[in-house]
Homo-oligomer: A and B are copies of this chain.
Amino acid sequence: MSGRDHPVDADGEISPADISSPQQRSPSVVPEEAGANPPYVHKVEVPPKQNLFNEFMYTFKETFFHNDPLRHFKDQPKSKKLMLGIQSVFPVIEWGRKYNLKMLRGDLIAGLTIASLCIPQDIGYAKLASLDPKYGLYSSFVPPLVYACMGSSKDIAIGPVAVVSLLLGTLLRAEIDPSTNPNEYLRLAFTSTFFAGVTQAALGFFRLGFLIDFLSHAAIVGFMGGAAITITLQQLKGFLGINKFTKKTDIIAVLRSVFSSAHHGWNWQTILISASFLIFLLVSKFIGKKNKKLFWIPAIAPLISVIISTFLVYITRADKKGVQIVKHLDKGLNPSSLRLIYFSGEYLLKGCRIGVVSGMVALTEAVAIGRTFAAMKDYQIDGNKEMVALGAMNVIGSMTSCYVSTGSFSRSAVNFMAGCQTAVSNIIMSIVVLLTLLFLTPLFKYTPNAILAAIIINAVIPLIDVNAAVLIFKIDKLDFVACMGAFFGVIFVSVEIGLLIAVAISFAKILLQVTRPRTAILGKIPGTSVYRNINQYPEATRVPGVLTIRVDSAIYFSNSNYVRERIQRWLTDEEEMMTTTSLVRIQCLIIEMSPVTDIDTSGIHALEDLYKSLRKRDIQLVLANPGPAVIHKLHVSHFADMLGYDKIYLTVAQAVDSCSPKLSDEV
């Protein structure tokens, strides 16, 4: 494009008459002053006017139903619709019909593997939540069955998890002391579980699942890492055989508690058991990592450790020498706990608050797992439907003596590697737990607490994801601050504070993003008609007398003043440089609006102010490539009339060409 013969009106000035008579400059009219054979200039079109209702429905749909969950219901007879409706609540009906023996083989192996992993973990995690070990096993029996009927992930392994157990325990202990009021404590735990389930189901049902996206990946990495360290610190009690231990969770209180009991509180027999089995677990994990086919070694190592250590304690009667053991694990299935839930009184509100917090955290974990494995196997899961399934599972769980369950990172990974095909692996696991509860619980009497501590430490270590933190540091420094804020908040203060810091920094990042969008000066890439950021492409050349600025964000009330002032500052900088280098005066300011996805009234006011201020300085304002929403709003607000439709171009190249002839006359 040569640009010299490009159509432009005689002097580029806008008289008041132009402003008041927009119809003279309708978008489709090419000014008559143009020379012969003008190059084809495509006009920037104002999109067809949207019906208000349609526009609202579109926004509503994109906000709440963006994955189009009702797609399959279209054009179906009524009976079919009902069937599809039931299917969408219970996906088991759909995949159950296609289930075959080959799938069962995969699920059976996976189910047995995760069962062997979950039983010792469950006992330990229940202790993290200051609950009797049996409640951990209960929570691995009912919730997986419910999830298998309602959930849509094929790979997730359901049950109690470390971080949620820790969080729930911390929040509950802040209200009731479990050692003095074990009954109230248990009731509040079920109440919280009930409300956790209600929260999850409600978020899913009202399609507010996107709210959990506000906890950023970076914040979760930091929070998980901090929680893992806190859990490890808590396990020092069992690991070292300490009797008197602090109830606080922050690192300073715990370490003080550990070292003050170093001389007489530690039990060497306990340390011998826990240390040797922790080494065994770590070695087995290392083997599993080196050879992916041996994944089953780290998966069954915990159960083997439990069996061996229990046997050792039983024959040596080490429990008489200070080695703490599980002592008692009730036989029998989950009793009903519906009557234990507080539906009134002061604990109702407290249970509700604890439930909302722990339910959200549990949801974050489960949805992240579901998404990860769905992406690996390339199937879709509907986050909102998943939340309804998880919520229903916890509501039913709260009535059958379970506490908050969710998807476990470690067990889901094992489930995946063991070749699970469907949620049937959860059912297999559930059956194994059922058999354990019915027949095997007495065998756990001599299981040393130390082995549970070793298993938990081994399980949470992978949550400290240093590589992810390093990557976050490389990619986004502010994300890293959120990550570290959550991390240090958890280990130095408490899990709640860490969570709060994570959410606060995540929000601050969003606000910063919308308040201070980036702007860039563009130059022409040699040999093309493409204009790009001159910082990114140092070889891009500037056109004398023309300043091209790209605004990299929607222009909203939160940034409109900044954008205007920033553009003016670019101009001032430029003009100062001009006077020192005595180059051509800036006569044309082009705003590349491709990234400006939307504009609001404040944004249009900012553009108007900019336009007025530029007119005073005899600088022309030209817009390049405003998007549909933007051009529509420029049109209805009459700013486009004020500016002139012939000052709006489809590309920067055309906009620059429109400025150049005028310049060439003057220079």
Q: Which residues of A contact B (CB under 8 A)?
A: 40, 42, 45, 47, 52, 55-56, 59, 62-63, 66-68, 210, 213-218, 371-372, 375-376, 378, 380, 383, 468, 471-472, 474-479, 506, 509-518, 520, 525, 527-528, 530, 532-533, 535-537, 552-554, 556-562, 565-566, 568-569, 594-595, 597-598, 600-602, 604-605, 608-609, 612-613, 616-617, 625, 627-629, 631, 633, 636-637, 650-651
CB-CB under 8 A for A42 and B527, given A515-B210, A594-B594, A617-B378: yes
Query: Taking the nearest CB of chain B, how far is it from the CB of A376, in angstroms?
Result: 7
User: Within 8 Å CB of A556, what residues of B?
Assistant: 216, 509-510, 513
Say whether A510 contacts B512, CB under 8 Å. Answer: no
User: Within 8 Å CB of A600, what residues of B?
Assistant: 216-218, 475-476, 479
Cα A215 to Cα B560 with chains together (Å): 12
> Which of A66, A518, A561 is packed against the most chain B CB atoms within 10 Å?
A561
- Chain A binding surface SS class: helix
Say whether B569 contacts A67, CB under 8 Å. Answer: yes
Cα A515 to Cα B209 with chains together (Å): 11
Cα A612 to Cα B557 with chains together (Å): 38
Within 8 Å by CB of A471, from B378, B477, B553, B637, lies: B637
> Can you list 15 residue pairs at the A/B interface with Cβ under 8 Å?
A42-B527, A56-B477, A59-B477, A59-B478, A62-B516, A66-B566, A68-B569, A217-B601, A371-B561, A378-B616, A509-B556, A520-B627, A520-B628, A532-B650, A533-B627
Say whether A561 contacts B213, CB under 8 Å. Answer: yes
CB-CB under 8 A for A637 and B474, given A515-B213, A525-B650, A533-B627: yes
Cα A383 to Cα B216 with chains together (Å): 32
User: Within 8 Å CB of A557, what residues of B?
Assistant: 213-218, 506
The 4 closest A-B pairs by CB, nearest first: A216-B557, A375-B609, A552-B597, A595-B595
User: Within 8 Å CB of A637, what residues of B?
Assistant: 471, 474-475
User: Within 8 Å CB of A518, what residues of B?
Assistant: 597-598, 629
User: Within 8 Å CB of A527, what residues of B?
Assistant: 40, 42
Say whether A613 contacts B210, CB under 8 Å. Answer: no
User: Within 8 Å CB of A552, what residues of B?
Assistant: 595, 597, 627
User: Within 8 Å CB of A478, what residues of B?
Assistant: 59
Cα A210 to Cα B566 with chains together (Å): 13
User: Within 8 Å CB of A601, what residues of B?
Assistant: 216-218, 468, 471-472, 475-476, 479
Within 8 Å by CB of A628, from B535, B568, B629, lies: B535
User: Within 8 Å CB of A633, what residues of B?
Assistant: 475-476
> Which of A62, A468, A569 is packed against the most chain B CB atoms within 10 Å?
A62
Say whether B47 contacts A536, CB under 8 Å. Answer: yes
Cα A535 to Cα B47 with chains together (Å): 7
User: Within 8 Å CB of A604, what residues of B?
Assistant: 475
Query: Taking the nearest CB of chain B, how far is it from the CB of A50, in angstroms?
Result: 10
Within 8 Å by CB of A376, from B40, B511, B612, lies: B612
Not counting A216-B602, A471-B637, A475-B601, a sample of 15 additional A-B residue pairs whose C-beta atoms are within 8 angstroms of each other reads A42-B537, A45-B537, A52-B477, A56-B477, A66-B569, A213-B557, A214-B511, A216-B558, A217-B601, A218-B600, A375-B609, A375-B613, A475-B604, A510-B510, A536-B631
Say whether A217 contacts B605, CB under 8 Å. Answer: yes
Cα A604 to Cα B479 with chains together (Å): 13
User: Within 8 Å CB of A213, what residues of B?
Assistant: 515, 557-562
Say whether A651 contacts B530, CB under 8 Å. Answer: yes
